[in-house]
Chain A
Amino acid sequence: MKNIYRNRIPNLMAVLLCSVVFTACEEFVETDLPVTETTADAVFNDKLTAEAALLENYVSLRDRALTTGTIPGIGNLMGMYADESLNWQVGSMAEQAFFTNAITPSDAAVQNLWNDSYKIIYQCNRIIDGVAQSPAVTAASKDQLTGEALFTRSFVHFYLVQLFGEVPYVTSTDYRVNKTVAKMPVGAMYTQLAKDLVQAGTLLENTAAPVNTRPSKYAAEALLARLYLYAEQYDKALEYSSGVIAAGFSVDQPVENTFLKGGKSIIWSFKPGVEGANTNEALIYIVTGTTPASRSLSDNLVASFEQGDLRKELWIKKMGTENAPYYHAFKYREKGPTAATKEHSVLLRLEEMLLIRLEADLYLGNNATALQNWNSIRERYGLDPFTELPANWKQLLLDERRHEFFCELGHRFFDMKRTGTLEQEMLKTKPSWQKSFAKLPLPQAELMLNPNLLPQNEGY
């Protein structure tokens, strides 16, 4: 007879073994930080990683958000919305909606403009807070990082105001604060942004020789010049634009060199992610074929140039057939990659400062200086000088800016808006234009989530 349960030493051992296994400690459920993530504290304890966090803002602004040269950027969308571009696509609902001014508060494109912008603002605030508390980053580096973050935060707020009107001014990183923010009146916002930009300029004062692929002291001053122009404080606009003009930038000759990466007039630009790549703008604006497959310049814009204007000759390309021509923007010429990168996406350039100085002088009554400066601009573009200041200089100045900045970051739309000429200008090409189209609607989801943002912009 055999007792099948006799041999119990192994059993006991098994039991004891299990007991050991059971006696586990907390450590088992602790996981290490993934190799693909770094804690925020560590990021701001090292200048290089803190700077990498800062650079993410430029990645966003170049590749996907707000000022990007890709389809969802304001350069393209506001060009469609105003009188610069024609939409030829049937599939792209977002662009068609901008083109026909049929924007609704629930449009994803509007929501994205808003969300992406505030995401950048949040990141700027994180950097400002993180760097301030960092024991390891040197004072000089702190100044530079904080300066660039302050500048970028102001830059993004500035565009939000242009697009939506009153918007919240966000300086906190606490979501409990940011989820209930209210709108700030435009005047107060401008005051705040000016303050921030002055501070950014001071912080960036001592940075090494300005590199135009990063915001510099001059970028801050250039944006201040624009801000004061928009705020109609012409003396300040004159002061800051003159300051930047005197800083050693120069207009490029020949004119087609303006957007090359080494362009001497460039105050701030974005370089592509990899060497050899060129701009997003070239990719979307340059089209071939007998009919434009995506977008072309409006006939109204093309016809508005004076005979012989080099900007029309060099920055616009005629396509299609002789009977049915169309035009595309040709400021950026390299659609594909080149051995070495040739062009950068320009955000701020000297020509704008020249035009701000001109406009400020005109409004301040410095007519002689203005005439002289205007003629030097005209001369550069192969146009005859004015012998005396034309009576309709306001209209001519608007056109001047239109010819200078078409397809660049929505300049045209914002210029019409700030000069009060939006409705009259838009009705020339878009008969269904309504006054309320001057502002985009606040994103519907935003109003639903934060009632402090009510009311919706009029007309939506």
Chain B
Amino acid sequence: MKKITFAALAVPLMWVLLLLLFFNSNKLHAQETTVLSGVVKTADGTPIEGVTVWQQNTDNGTQTNEQGFYTLSISPNAVIVFEYIGYKTQTVKASGSILNVTLTADDDMLDEVVINAGYYSVKDKERTGSISKITAKEIGQQPVANPLAAMQGRMAGVNITQSSGTPGGGFDIQIRGRNSLRTEGNAPLYIVDGVPFLSDTNSTGDLSVEILRSTANNPLQLINPNDIESIEVLKDADATAIYGSRGANGVVLITTKKGTNQPTVFSLQSHTAIGVVPNFMNLMNSGEYLQMRRDAFANDKIAEYPANAYDMNGTWDANRYTDWQQQLIGGKAVSQQVSASVRGGDKRNSFMVQASTAKDGTVFPGDYGNKRKNILAQFSHITDDEKWNISTQFVRGESDNRLLGVDLTRDALTLAPNAPALYNPDGSLNWENGTWNNPLRWTNQTYNAKNVQWLTAWNLEGKLTRSLTFKAVAGYNEMNGDEWKIIPHTIYNPAMGLTSANSSSMQGITKASVWNLEPQLHFHEQFGRHKVTALVGTTFLKQSNAKQVWRASNFGSDAQIQNFLAAKTLRLMTNMANEYAYQAVFTRLNYMYDDRFIVNITGRRDGSSRFGPNKRWGNFGAVGAAWLFSREKIFEDSSWLSFGKLRASYGTTGSDRIGDYQYLDTYQYSGGVYEGGGLAPARLYNPDFSWETNRKMEAAMELSLFNNRVSLSAAYYRNVSGNQLVGVPLPGTTGFASVLANLPAEVENTGWEFEFKYRVLSGNDWNWSLFGNWSSNRNKLLEFPGLDASTYKNMYTIGQPTSMIYVYDYTGTDPVSGAYTFRDVNGDGVWNAADDKKRIVDLTPRYSAGIGSEASYRNWSLDLLFHAVKQQGANAALGFGMPGTFTNQPADALSVSAQQPSAGYNNDFNAAYSRYAQSQQAFTDASFIRLKNVTLAYSIPRVFASKLSGRIYISGQNVFTWTNYKGLDPESQGITSLPPLRVWSAGFILNY
């Protein structure tokens, strides 16, 4: 052992302290004892089995048997405690040798929500941190393939955007705004059953970007939403600091379903769904389009239409009209899902096994889709002496996503309306003598991603003493990917004369794995009104990522295009084998006084291999406090206040999501070959970067009113991140686009979050409740010493959000030239970017909100969820390119204020349009209110057979959207990717 770390020193010290406690409590055994026995019953006289009976302030205890009977050796006149979940704890002073006790049910306890905070659980009412939760009830009824879709709109401060409606793609998540200037630095940490989940995509851009766009295969789609029991999102420092360097962007804890202590239940669940593109754009028809083109050439003073203007020069039929949206993205995506489970257990054992299979279709022409298979298995066992609890989870997801090569949305919108027919009379693809690129050529290109991710978690929990528990979580998570892009020569225009010698196929093979081991000691003790809970633990984690991307080309025929043996040329394009090691010690100390005042201190010391040798360790910590003021005497008999809490927290977290080996100056093979090969610098190297820090502050109030009918919470937070680790943009003259370095800037995120729940009606027949959340985040660059001398000069300005963008200030259209005009900021007579792009557009979403309703009448229930976002977004019209060129346009593209159409032959129009696309006009209101989900369900009463029960439902996703946005969809925006689909599904659940 070289250098003993702080961890290695601090931890044994902790142990010594804990052991002292441990032995101290055992001194009692040396004293004289008497034997106490008795029976514990409920109010109606039923004996209770498993009640913990112990002598207060010792670890001397036992449990009741099936008859509710116990015996215990105690010191004379000891105070005896009787504890059983769901019942009020009783403390009785023993006198004599018989003590019978009647426990009364604790109504408060029964509906007490317990929150999983990762390393520990906490009663919702007693938590000091900011944690949002959804459960299987909310997730299960939505026809979604990705758990993130089920979270959308349900949690304040958690912004989830679906950017593509193609299966396998699609989600971006931001918890409380953009902390980091690096996009990938904003991803939260995902933990599934205590094991870090490999949430980074394994997809290779070259293979997937055309079909999945920016949203490459999201690994979370490998978790079946139906396997999830609950999802908790940790947001503030109090909740996340215990995750240290990985907690800066929040932590998403996914807990899978577990067995029960009930008799075995068999379940079968299935649904069938149909999805369509909910909204088409209103585009020009052939007449309008050709008129625009004629005007465009006239404006460009081109009298004779160029040879490649096939739409104009008579090559194509001017009278044709095709609704390309209908043809290319107008299909119906059929999805089906079936899952079967067995779940049950007894007092000491529980298990659950669930298997699911699903297929999600697409709206594109052809038979494509994502086939998913999931298995969940869970067992847990408690030893006979009730001291040890061992449980294991196994979660496996597999997807086989087979799609066409390219998302056709762009073609559907931009193809000239008089473009030729898709097929020849004989059914083959029509290339119109080589004058157009038939969009269906992309159906000859295949994208296929096969991913398997499996995770196993082992939990061992043992009571060392009554107050001291040992826990160990060991987990392993592996993801294997096999991604293909198959490009036969038939995707090319036959006029180019290509053969299978020009066909190619690419394969990306990835393997990522992570194991972690977290031994922990948990301590809890009550001394009168003082309750102390503490834990100390350590994390060992190793992760490896390997990727190889092959490109095979020059085939004798396309018949075996996926067989590399048939390729005359085979090249390895990428070869990566990265390792990541991470170690930490963490601790939590929670002190509660009189069930009213709570202080929660968490800390973590992290070491990460991603930093250079002298910058490897970082310390993080937080303190949270809560005051449960409703438990003060003055509110004890309050008729209106059922619960009230004030809480606040402050602390630091960090981020090491910067990629592996960034501090090393290395070379790697580029994949190109020249004689002996080509070695290229792996990166622009900077040995000096170190941890960034995020300081988070939060204050919140939670209230329950009128006998818990109304609950409200409000939170304000302020996060300041400094010394940010970013890829500082560099001019091309350095040979690189960026260098990883600490930025001497401070970025502030502040925001408000509100949540409410209102139980409007609760009765035997009618139940109705409303719930909602609203959150808003403001981002601001506080300070940036040397901003003007840095490469960020033209990117950010102090006092503005980091999601700002400098644009030209569009002023209108020149009545003489017909071209767009802009404000000449420095008055030099020309518009150029460095001087005149000075207007600021703020792209931070203003707020987002979710409002839902859950109503039921006897066996019927109707649930609704609305999701609303107020934001600026990309103006879809700009995606079409300059009106007048060879692409179709929105029907209103030539409004009075628009620039004269130009076919691209006039550089003034061209330059003006290019600036227009960099002006405030490139952004537009993309706010929306969406009926995200509606579900009507009927619970089948147990009439057919005594043990059979079930539920049938119809459910709609993205049912209706109110928006002023003029593109296909205000959420996915732009015109290059398929918008989220409107999906209607019908399904049933049967339990036996």
Contact = CB atoms under 8 A, between A and B. Distances in A.
Interface of A: 1-5, 8, 11, 14-15, 18-19, 21-41, 43, 48-49, 51-53, 55-60, 62-63, 86-91, 93, 96-97, 100-102, 104-106, 111, 114-115, 118-123, 126, 168, 170, 175, 178-179, 181, 213, 270-271, 273-274, 276-277, 283, 286-294, 335-337, 432, 434, 437, 443-451, 453-456, 460
B464 A31 contact: no
A453 B833 CA distance: 13
Nearest to A34: B577
Given A37-B661, A55-B678, A336-B554, A4 B733 contact: no
A283 B496 CA distance: 9
A48 B679 CA distance: 10
B609 A105 contact: no
Nearest to A182: B733
A1 B464 CA distance: 19
B620 interface: no
B312 to A, nearest CB: 11
Contacts of A100: 904-905, 910
Given A30-B609, A179-B730, A288 B664 contact: no
B673 A274 contact: yes
A28 B575 contact: no
Contacts of A91: 437
Given A14-B470, A29-B582, A447-B833, A291 B7 contact: no
A295 B960 CA distance: 47
Contacts of B435: 291
B15 A31 contact: no
Contacts of A449: 729-731, 791, 794
Interface in B727-753: 729-737, 739
A448 B682 CA distance: 26
Given A18-B521, A449-B794, A273 B674 contact: yes
B434 A293 contact: yes
B42 interface: no
Given A40-B665, A337-B501, A178 B914 contact: no
Contact of B680 (A90, A123, A287, A444): A123
A1 B676 contact: no
A1 B791 contact: no
Contact of B434 (A2, A55, A289): A289
B476 to A, nearest CB: 17
B519 interface: yes
Interface in B292-325: 300-301, 307-308, 310
B39 to A, nearest CB: 15
Interface of B: 1-5, 7-8, 11-12, 15, 19, 26, 35, 59-63, 71-73, 300-301, 307-308, 310, 385-387, 433-437, 462-466, 470, 492-497, 499, 501-502, 517, 519, 521, 538, 540, 554, 568-569, 571, 575-583, 585, 607-609, 613, 616, 660-661, 664-670, 672-682, 684-685, 729-737, 739, 791, 793-795, 832-834, 837, 881, 886, 904-907, 910-911, 914, 918
A43 B734 contact: no
A119 B734 CA distance: 7
Given A4-B61, A291-B495, A55 B736 contact: no
B856 to A, nearest CB: 45
B574 to A, nearest CB: 9
A89 B904 CA distance: 14
A423 to B, nearest CB: 15
B62 A3 contact: yes
Given A4-B63, A293-B495, A337-B554, 8 more contacts: A23-B1, A31-B661, A59-B678, A102-B910, A106-B918, A270-B674, A446-B733, A456-B834
A179 B581 contact: no
Given A90-B308, A90-B436, A179-B730, A11 B464 contact: yes
28 contacts: A4-B61, A22-B15, A22-B538, A23-B11, A24-B538, A29-B583, A33-B661, A34-B578, A36-B668, A55-B677, A55-B678, A56-B679, A106-B914, A118-B733, A120-B735, A175-B736, A274-B571, A277-B554, A286-B497, A289-B433, A291-B495, A337-B554, A446-B731, A447-B832, A448-B793, A448-B795, A450-B791, A451-B793
B569 A336 contact: no
Given A53-B680, A91-B437, A25 B8 contact: yes
A105 B833 CA distance: 9
Nearest to A430: B905
A114 to B, nearest CB: 5
B667 A37 contact: yes
A34 to B, nearest CB: 5
Q: Which of B387, B729, B795, B833 has the most CB of A within 10 A?
A: B833
Contacts of A32: 579
B919 to A, nearest CB: 12
Contacts of A30: 581, 609, 613
B226 to A, nearest CB: 37
B501 A25 contact: no
A435 to B, nearest CB: 12
A168 B733 contact: yes
Contacts of A39: 664-667
A51 B667 CA distance: 12
B832 A460 contact: yes
Contacts of A29: 581-583, 607-609, 616
B353 to A, nearest CB: 31
Contacts of A451: 793, 834
B434 A35 contact: no
Contacts of B609: 29-31
B583 A96 contact: no
Contacts of A52: 669, 676-679
B681 A40 contact: yes
Nearest to A274: B569
Nearest to A214: B675
A455 to B, nearest CB: 8
